[in-house]
Amino acid sequence: MLISHNSLTRLSALNLARIYNLALSSLSSVFLNNELAFGSIEKPDIPELNHWQTSLDLQDEHVMNGFLLYSLLLEKTERGQNLFLDHGIKHRDRLQPALAERNKQMEGVGQEAYTHACDLCYVVFNDENGQSSKL
């Protein structure tokens, strides 16, 4: 699978960020999301970090960067290599050369099981003219 940043992955990242921000971002979420363990209680007196200069909300860009960085680290580890990224530039831009390198390696025969052909992903059928086609 080639890694890309298209609208479907952005929508998934937005949804993951929303789920995190609604259900997990609060310091008291462990209490509020585990009624069986903690019983039905009011929100515990845990100070939220409202005085911080930055937001603790997760954005879709954070989700995508985390997923892509994890995928690159996993791929490099499987190959016994190290991941090197430029410093001093935006995180999104730091990942682009490594993503391009990985995508280039995955083209054609770089994919695992590239040469396999099974009934689930490779179907040969005869069309109305009697010609064989593959799908």
- Tens of pLDDT, residue by residue over 86-125, are 988 887 789 999 999 998 888 877 777 777 767 677 777 8
Is the alpha carbon torsion for 74, 66, 83, 113 positive or negative? Answer: positive
Question: pTM to 2 decimals?
Answer: 0.57
Yes or no: say if 57 and 3 are a contact pair by the CB < 8 Å rule.
no
Render pLDDT for 19-78 as a digit per residue (tens, 0 to 9): 877 776 666 666 666 666 666 656 555 555 556 666 667 888 888 888 999 999 999 999
Q: Rounded CA gap, 70 and 98, in Å?
A: 12
Q: Rounded CA gap, 72 and 132, in Å?
A: 39
> Which is nearest to 135 in space by CA: 115, 116, 112, 119?
119
Residue 1: which pLDDT band, with cuts at 50, 70 and 90?
very low
